[in-house]
């Protein structure tokens, strides 16, 4: 099939767009309305610039956001940040005061809980923030829940609410900064609500914080003095193990191997976790055999650990910080200090016992035979020799202990490692070498937080111990993608704080963003340490960064029950481990940024405040991209879906609630105007022709995608309907992937044999406007006509121009005004509870119709990860026997290779040339109609 781009008649210069189109001429005339022009930037060929229109309407004091009538739907969605409820706000105390306290009686605050691990060198802090879900009185939602048989009963004996788990660290020597941080966030005052999960006050009425590590004893008085809190001391080993078990069970991509500079995530089977050896490298080293939850034994340890490295480094090199010492090692050459096998054997390998010439025979051994003073050695070389000596020694002792107890897996944690590639390579090498490849060294992304997490877990009824992987969503730490120098990177609560952090970050930016060049591999594999591949010229800017995101706890998330093999399911189609892919998609997202910022700022009325937020958003997003470009696996396995979600999350973080709101509204209006005529035309067709026209319609209308650069350029060339007509005219079969005949046979049968209709179809809808109204709704109507219940599955939160579950009922109500099938089904599905329906026959009888329902999918991204969907969707899916996934995000970028237990139809127009070539060996604007019967 020729692409739209190549077609001289339909050329995207828009000069000659064919008039003849599948739907009637009056409809076309109707759509000549100026209001239906697509672009907002004033480059519209036909019709008035929408920006002008906005200005006119805005002169009455209304911004663009006011053009959209408020939806009548009152579903409460906890967005990325809780919104302030200012009702009944009152000033407390003296009105004359400069910053009087304002009481917000109806605001459900973020409630924080905190635990600490105060070590010899670092303080690790884990805290949880949450806000209570407000009860919803939404009748539609209730009806849908009833229909789907979702009970409101609590699964747990105590409530666990959604929230976020944050990870922060401070140097112990700067404990005052840590106290200031706790105090500024009021973290020590958490847990005072009725849902308290821990005994937050001691018998004498003081607030209590769980803490572990030696500092919990040493600094107890200071905490009491400064914050008025008591530290409730928890055993360090108990905490380490509880923290490690929680991470290994609950966090996807927590563990990874690191060999010769290559990081690879290991999927740990929860049921096959124990036993393992946990090696915690802090100032000293503990080796713990873990047999289960709370079942462990400290089997060994060594006093030669992180403290030794730092201490000796200070004495020998006068380094002021651990990172400085580590940074020196990056430029070191240990051959000037270590005695190598080759030094003893005249440059030869000692082959008989498998030692290469470059194997260290004796750490620091070369210095014996040289008559140099300490000043004669380079600090860089000393640092590297030290690092090797200590890492190698720890690797070897760990292996011997694993051997002692027959353990195959060794997990290394503790802040000595701090994500330093060379340290991990050295340890891995030692374990691999001594075990002859039998044992495997693994590392944990939250390596430094095991103790703090464990202390957190020790609160009674924290509710985290039985959380499942799918209930935790790891998100990029917002507002603080980097941590360096004096800038700490906790999640910043306050928007202003966040914006000024970004501004500060930009000033510091050049200092802390330099990527590290990777040297090529030089390891012999013969037991010698040559130059490991991950030793770059300089220390990564983020060597002390956390490399962990913020954990969002969403207890309502579930695994989509129709996945054929949930354990093998991988949502992303494109592997960003391929560097050229990564570069390409990073460029696409960067290029799209200025336009997105314009839209976002306009959606908030173009005020100075929104411009400042827009700027901060652009910086934050660019900084995240740069950070990920430097280390793609920093926050676990990175797929395109994560990047697209990151963009949306970042927008929300800077309080851009719905950047495309006016575009969506305009397209909805235009499409609703066309719908009645389209339905009449469809009804005049035979069943077979109609089914084909419907699928064509879905594919054609998927062209309305504001996330695709090519499509947005196209929108400059004509009105909504012109683009739609052009797209429909291009729908000749065969499509690039064309399983329509198989789908038709399942729907209509062949010959006289009429197949049994599907019982329930889940339609994963994509974009607002024509996509959902002229594409998916008519398809839903056809399924309803066949007697199939239809569940429209839409986003919980806005993403690009995707329609949301909150917006859909009003759209359906509008459509239902002109169609009895939709009206009856929507009534039966509880969608029309408070919509004013004015139909021709006025019939209220709904028992004859199967229901049309709407459920939210639990996400706010253009893609969907089916391991983590809303509980409503999971409930609706249980009885489904047909799934329709529509759009590039949901059917191509994600789920293209996913297999389901029930019949599945994947429909999308490919609106990106590179993806078309890669995925379907086709061209931009080619279509995919992939039908896969139940497996
Ligand atoms: C963001 C999208 C996945 C949305 O597509 P949709 O799901 O709406 O069909 C898609 O527009 C996309 O991949 N855009 C980036 C590539 C580009 O601009 O060509
Ligand atoms: Mn979309």
Q: What pLDDT digit, counting tens, does each position of 141-150 carry?
A: 666 667 776 6
Look at 731 and 84; give whichever has higher pLDDT. 731
Ligand minimally distant from the alpha carbon of residue 706: 1
| Average pLDDT of the segment spanning 301-318 | 94
- Using CA atoms, how far apart are residues 818 and 803, in angstroms rounded to an integer? 21
Q: Which of 708, 710, 864, 886, when mutated, tests ligand 1's pocket best, judged by the most ligand atoms within 8 Å of its CB? A: 708
Give 597's pLDDT tier (boundaries 50, 70, 90): very high
- The answer to whether 622 and 566 are in contact (CB under 8 A) is no
Give the DSSP letter of residue 377: S
- The answer to whether 48 and 733 are in contact (CB under 8 A) is no
Ligand 1 atom with the shortest distance to the CA of 592:
18
Q: Give 371-429 pLDDT, tens digit per residue.
A: 899 999 999 999 999 999 999 999 999 999 999 999 989 999 887 887 788 899 999 99
Alpha carbon of 171 to ligand 2 centroid (Å): 45
- Using CA atoms, how far apart are residues 832 and 843, in angstroms rounded to an integer? 13
| Average pLDDT of the segment spanning 429-435 | 90
Give the DSSP letter of residue 767: B
Q: Which of 862, 885, 893, when mutated, tests ligand 1's pocket best, judged by the most ligand atoms within 8 Å of its CB? A: 862
Alpha carbon of 568 to ligand 2 centroid (Å): 26
Alpha carbon of 705 to ligand 1 centroid (Å): 7
pLDDT greater than 70 at residue 56 = no
- Using CA atoms, how far apart are residues 749 and 758, in angstroms rounded to an integer? 12
Alpha carbon of 587 to ligand 1 centroid (Å): 14
pLDDT at 491: 41
101-105, 676-680, 706-710: segment of lowest average pLDDT:
101-105
pLDDT at 408: 86
| Average pLDDT of the segment spanning 496-513 | 51
- The answer to whether 93 and 36 are in contact (CB under 8 A) is no
CB 707 near ligand 1, within 6 Å: yes
Residue 730: CB partners within 8 Å, gap ≥ 6?
1, 2, 4, 7, 10, 700, 925
Q: Give 333-384 pLDDT, tens digit per residue.
A: 999 999 988 888 777 777 777 777 778 889 999 999 888 999 999 999 999 9
Angle between helices 777-785 and 808-816 (to 10 degrees): 60
Give the DSSP letter of residue 519: P
Name the CA dihedral angle for 837, 840, 844, 847, rounded to a multiple of 10 degrees.
-110
Q: Give the side-chain half-sphere CA count within 13 A for 52.
A: 9
pLDDT at 476: 67
pLDDT greater than 80 at residue 808 = yes
Asked if residue 275 has a cis previous peptide bond (ω within 30° of 0), the answer is yes
- CA-closest candidate to residue 425, choices 395, 385, 386, 383: 395
pLDDT greater than 90 at residue 814 = yes
pLDDT at 106: 38
- Using CA atoms, how far apart are residues 627 and 484, in angstroms rounded to an integer? 13
Distances (CA, A) of 525 to 121, 432, 529, 531: 35, 10, 8, 11
CB 53 near ligand 1, within 6 Å: no
pLDDT at 525: 28
- The answer to whether 513 and 631 are in contact (CB under 8 A) is no
Look at 742 and 348; give whichever has higher pLDDT. 742
Ligand minimally distant from the alpha carbon of residue 913: 1
Alpha carbon of 685 to ligand 2 centroid (Å): 29
- Using CA atoms, how far apart are residues 263 and 694, in angstroms rounded to an integer? 47
With pLDDT > 70 as the criterion, what percentage of the chain qualifies? 72
Alpha carbon of 893 to ligand 2 centroid (Å): 11
pLDDT at 328: 92
- The answer to whether 454 and 212 are in contact (CB under 8 A) is yes
Give 633's pLDDT tier (boundaries 50, 70, 90): confident
Give the DSSP letter of residue 353: G
Alpha carbon of 704 to ligand 2 centroid (Å): 8
CB 889 near ligand 1, within 6 Å: yes
pLDDT greater than 50 at residue 5 = no
pLDDT at 322: 84
- Using CA atoms, how far apart are residues 45 and 49, in angstroms rounded to an integer? 9
By CB neighbour count within 10 A (0-12 exposed, 13-18 middle, 19+ buried), where does 321 fall?
middle
pLDDT at 653: 85
pLDDT at 681: 96
Ligand 1 atom with the shortest distance to the CA of 914:
19
340-349, 869-878, 883-892: segment of lowest average pLDDT:
340-349
Ligand minimally distant from the alpha carbon of residue 702: 1
pLDDT at 427: 94
**DSSP bridge partners of 231:** 209
pLDDT at 459: 82
Alpha carbon of 583 to ligand 1 centroid (Å): 16
Look at 287 and 162; give whichever has higher pLDDT. 287
pLDDT at 49: 28
- Using CA atoms, how far apart are residues 210 and 191, in angstroms rounded to an integer? 12
CB 771 near ligand 1, within 6 Å: no
Q: Which of 586, 651, 707, when mutated, tests ligand 1's pocket best, judged by the most ligand atoms within 8 Å of its CB? A: 707
For the record, the structure tokens of 733 come out as 């079969």
pLDDT at 548: 62
512-516, 600-604, 659-663: segment of lowest average pLDDT:
512-516
- Which residue's CA lies nearest to atom 1 of ligand 1? 707
- Using CA atoms, how far apart are residues 44 and 22, in angstroms rounded to an integer? 25
| Average pLDDT of the segment spanning 47-53 | 28
CB 4 near ligand 1, within 6 Å: no
- Using CA atoms, how far apart are residues 52 and 40, in angstroms rounded to an integer? 9
pLDDT greater than 60 at residue 327 = yes
Give 699's pLDDT tier (boundaries 50, 70, 90): very high
| Average pLDDT of the segment spanning 773-783 | 98
Alpha carbon of 767 to ligand 2 centroid (Å): 5
Residue 900, SS3?
Answer: strand
Number of neighbouring beta carbons within 10 Å of residue 188: 21
| Average pLDDT of the segment spanning 563-592 | 93
Alpha carbon of 124 to ligand 2 centroid (Å): 40
pLDDT greater than 50 at residue 194 = no
Ligand 1 atom with the shortest distance to the CA of 709:
18
323-327, 426-430, 583-587: segment of lowest average pLDDT:
323-327
Distances (CA, A) of 29 to 21, 53, 344, 677, 721: 12, 21, 92, 12, 10
pLDDT at 190: 61
∠ CA 349-355-359, nearest 5°, is 90
Ligand minimally distant from the alpha carbon of residue 701: 1
CB 709 near ligand 1, within 6 Å: yes
- Using CA atoms, how far apart are residues 200 and 205, in angstroms rounded to an integer? 9
Number of neighbouring beta carbons within 10 Å of residue 515: 14
Ligand minimally distant from the alpha carbon of residue 585: 1
| Average pLDDT of the segment spanning 841-867 | 82
CB 708 near ligand 1, within 6 Å: yes
Look at 188 and 910; give whichever has higher pLDDT. 910
Q: Estimate the share of the chain in helix, then strand, then coil, as percent rounded to the nearest 5.
A: 40, 15, 45
* Widest Cα–Cα separation across the chain: 105
DSSP H/E element including 661: helix 661-683
Name residue, tokens 């930009």.
Answer: 506
CB 67 near ligand 1, within 6 Å: no
| Average pLDDT of the segment spanning 470-481 | 62
- The answer to whether 556 and 870 are in contact (CB under 8 A) is yes
CB 644 near ligand 1, within 6 Å: yes
- The answer to whether 200 and 191 are in contact (CB under 8 A) is yes
pLDDT greater than 90 at residue 924 = yes
Look at 743 and 193; give whichever has higher pLDDT. 743
Give the DSSP letter of residue 887: S
- CA-closest candidate to residue 156, choices 470, 463, 460: 463
Question: How far, in whole angstroms, is CA 788 from its chain's centroid?
Answer: 34
Give 462's pLDDT tier (boundaries 50, 70, 90): low
DSSP H/E element including 679: helix 661-683
- Using CA atoms, how far apart are residues 391 and 535, in angstroms rounded to an integer? 14
Q: What are the two backbone dihedrals, phi and then psi, of residue 907, each rounded to the nearest 5 degrees?
A: -125, 125
pLDDT greater than 60 at residue 514 = no
- Using CA atoms, how far apart are residues 723 and 726, in angstroms rounded to an integer? 5
With pLDDT > 90 as the criterion, what percentage of the chain qualifies? 50
CB 469 near ligand 1, within 6 Å: no
Please enumerate, as own/partner, the contacts of 492-501 that have beta carbons within 8 Å and a separation of 24 or more: 493/110, 493/129, 493/185, 495/613, 495/654, 495/655, 498/616, 498/620, 498/653, 498/654, 499/612, 499/613, 499/616, 499/654
- Using CA atoms, how far apart are residues 181 and 112, in angstroms rounded to an integer? 13
Q: Give the side-chain half-sphere CA count within 13 A for 879.
A: 13
pTM (predicted TM-score): 0.76
CB 571 near ligand 1, within 6 Å: no
- Using CA atoms, how far apart are residues 371 and 374, in angstroms rounded to an integer? 10
| Average pLDDT of the segment spanning 519-537 | 36
Alpha carbon of 463 to ligand 2 centroid (Å): 36
Q: What are the two backbone dihedrals, phi and then psi, of residue 340, each rounded to the nearest 5 degrees?
A: -100, 160
pLDDT at 157: 33
- Using CA atoms, how far apart are residues 269 and 566, in angstroms rounded to an integer? 13
By CB neighbour count within 10 A (0-12 exposed, 13-18 middle, 19+ buried), where does 272 fall?
exposed
Q: Which of 590, 640, 889, 893, when mutated, tests ligand 1's pocket best, judged by the most ligand atoms within 8 Å of its CB? A: 889
CB 868 near ligand 1, within 6 Å: no
Question: How far, in whole angstroms, is CA 641 from its chain's centroid?
Answer: 8
pLDDT greater than 50 at residue 298 = yes
- Using CA atoms, how far apart are residues 557 and 570, in angstroms rounded to an integer? 17
Ligand minimally distant from the alpha carbon of residue 887: 1
For the record, the structure tokens of 911 come out as 């609106």
167-181, 509-523, 621-635, 848-862: segment of lowest average pLDDT:
509-523
pLDDT at 878: 95
∠ CA 69-75-81, nearest 5°, is 95
Alpha carbon of 889 to ligand 1 centroid (Å): 6
Cα radius of gyration (the chain) = 31
Ligand 1 atom with the shortest distance to the CA of 710:
19
pLDDT greater than 80 at residue 845 = no
Q: Give 253-296 pLDDT, tens digit per residue.
A: 889 999 988 889 998 888 889 999 999 998 899 999 999 999 99
Ligand 1 atom with the shortest distance to the CA of 589:
15
pLDDT at 119: 87
Q: What is the mean pLDDT of the chain?
A: 78
């Amino acid at each position: 099939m020729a692409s739209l781009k190549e077609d001289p008649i339909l050329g995207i210069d828009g000069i000659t767009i064919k008039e003849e189109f599948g739907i009637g001429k009056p409809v076309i005339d109707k759509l000549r309305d100026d209001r239906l022009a697509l672009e907002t930037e004033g480059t519209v060929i036909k019709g008035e610039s929408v920006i002008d229109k906005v200005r006119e309407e805005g002169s009455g004091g209304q911004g663009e956001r006011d053009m959209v009538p408020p939806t009548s739907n009152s579903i409460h969605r906890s967005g990325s940040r809780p919104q302030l409820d200012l009702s009944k706000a009152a000033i407390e105390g003296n009105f004359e005061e400069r910053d009087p306290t304002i009481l917000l009686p109806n605001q459900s605050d973020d409630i924080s809980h905190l635990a600490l691990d105060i070590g010899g060198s670092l303080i690790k802090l884990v805290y949880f923030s949450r806000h209570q879900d407000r009860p919803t009185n939404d009748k539609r939602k209730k009806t849908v829940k009833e229909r789907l048989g979702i009970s409101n009963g609590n699964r747990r004996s105590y409530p666990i609410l959604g929230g976020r788990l944050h990870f922060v660290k401070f140097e112990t020597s700067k404990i005052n900064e840590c106290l200031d941080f706790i105090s500024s966030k009021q973290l020590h005052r958490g847990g005072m609500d009725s849902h308290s999960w821990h005994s937050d006050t001691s018998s004498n009425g003081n607030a209590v914080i769980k803490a572990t590590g030696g500092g919990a004893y040493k600094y107890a008085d200071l905490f009491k003095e400064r914050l008025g809190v008591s530290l409730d001391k928890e055993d360090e080993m108990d905490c380490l193990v509880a923290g490690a078990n929680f991470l290994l069970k609950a966090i996807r991509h927590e563990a990874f191997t690191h060999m010769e500079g290559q990081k690879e995530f290991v999927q740990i089977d929860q049921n096959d976790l124990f036993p393992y050896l946990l090696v915690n490298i802090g100032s000293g080293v503990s080796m713990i055999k873990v047999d289960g939850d709370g079942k462990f034994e400290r089997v060994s340890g060594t006093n030669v650990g992180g403290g030794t490295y730092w201490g000796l480094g200070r004495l020998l090199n006068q380094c002021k910080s651990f990172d400085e010492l580590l940074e020196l090692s990056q430029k070191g050459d240990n051959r000037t200090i270590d005695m190598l096998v080759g030094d003893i054997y005249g440059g030869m390998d000692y082959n008989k016992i498998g030692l290469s010439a470059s194997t260290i025979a004796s750490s620091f051994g070369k210095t014996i035979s040289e008559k140099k003073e300490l000043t004669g050695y380079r600090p860089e070389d000393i640092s590297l020799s030290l690092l090797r000596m200590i890492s190698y020694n720890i690797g070897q002792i760990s292996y011997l202990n694993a051997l002692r107890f027959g353990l195959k897996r060794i997990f290394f944690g503790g802040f000595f490692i701090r994500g330093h590639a060379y340290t991990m390579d050295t340890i891995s090498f030692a374990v691999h070498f001594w075990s002859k490849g039998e044992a495997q060294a693994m590392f944990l992304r939250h390596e430094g937080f095991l103790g703090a997490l464990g202390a957190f877990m020790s609160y009674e009824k924290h509710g985290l111990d039985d959380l499942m992987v799918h209930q935790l969503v790891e998100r990029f730490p917002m507002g603080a993608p980097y941590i360096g120098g004096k800038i700490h990177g906790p999640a910043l609560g306050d928007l202003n704080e966040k914006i000024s952090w970004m501004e500060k970050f930009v000033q510091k930016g050049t200092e802390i963003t330099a990527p590290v060049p990777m040297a090529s591999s030089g390891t012999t594999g013969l037991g010698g340490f040559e130059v490991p591949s991950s030793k770059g010229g300089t220390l990564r800017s983020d060597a002390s960064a956390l490399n962990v995101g913020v954990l969002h706890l969403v207890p309502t998330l579930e695994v989509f029950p129709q996945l054929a093999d949930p354990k093998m399911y991988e949502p992303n189609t494109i592997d960003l481990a391929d560097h050229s892919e990564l570069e390409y998609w990073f460029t696409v997202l960067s290029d799209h940024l200025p336009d997105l910022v314009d839209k976002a700022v306009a959606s908030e009325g173009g005020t100075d405040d929104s411009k400042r937020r827009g700027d901060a958003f652009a910086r934050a997003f660019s900084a995240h991209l740069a950070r990920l470009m430097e280390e793609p696996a920093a926050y676990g396995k990175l797929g395109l879906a994560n990047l697209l979600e990151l963009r949306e999350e970042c927008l929300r973080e800077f309080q851009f609630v719905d950047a495309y709101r006016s575009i969506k509204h305009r397209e909805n209006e235009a499409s609703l105007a066309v719908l009645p005529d389209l339905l009449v035309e469809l009804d005049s067709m035979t069943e077979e022709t109609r089914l084909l026209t419907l699928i064509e319609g879905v594919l054609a209308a998927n062209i309305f995608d504001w996330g695709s650069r090519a499509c947005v350029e196209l929108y400059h060339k004509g009105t909504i309907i012109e683009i739609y007509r052009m797209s429909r005219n291009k729908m000749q079969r065969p499509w690039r992937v064309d399983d329509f005949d198989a789908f038709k046979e399942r729907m209509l049968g062949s010959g006289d044999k009429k197949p049994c209709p599907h019982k329930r179809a889940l339609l994963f809808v994509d974009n607002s406007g024509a996509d959902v109204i002229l594409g998916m709704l008519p398809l839903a109507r056809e399924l309803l006509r066949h007697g199939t219940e239809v569940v429209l599955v839409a986003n919980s939160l806005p993403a690009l121009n995707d329609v949301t579950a909150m917006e859909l009922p009003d759209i359906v109500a509008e459509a239902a005004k002109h169609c009895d099938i939709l009206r009856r089904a929507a009534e039966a599905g509880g969608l029309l509870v408070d919509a004013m329906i004015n139909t021709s026959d006025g019939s209220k009888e709904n028992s004859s119709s199967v229901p049309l329902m709407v459920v939210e999918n639990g996400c706010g991204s253009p893609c969907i990860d089916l391991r983590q969907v809303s509980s409503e969707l999971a409930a609706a899916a249980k009885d489904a026997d047909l799934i329709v996934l529509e759009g590039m995000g949901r059917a191509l970028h994600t789920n293209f290779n996913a297999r389901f237990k029930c019949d599945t139809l994947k429909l999308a127009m490919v609106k990106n040339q590179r993806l078309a070539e890669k995925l379907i060996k086709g061209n931009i604007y080619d279509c995919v109609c992939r039908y896969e019967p139940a497996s």
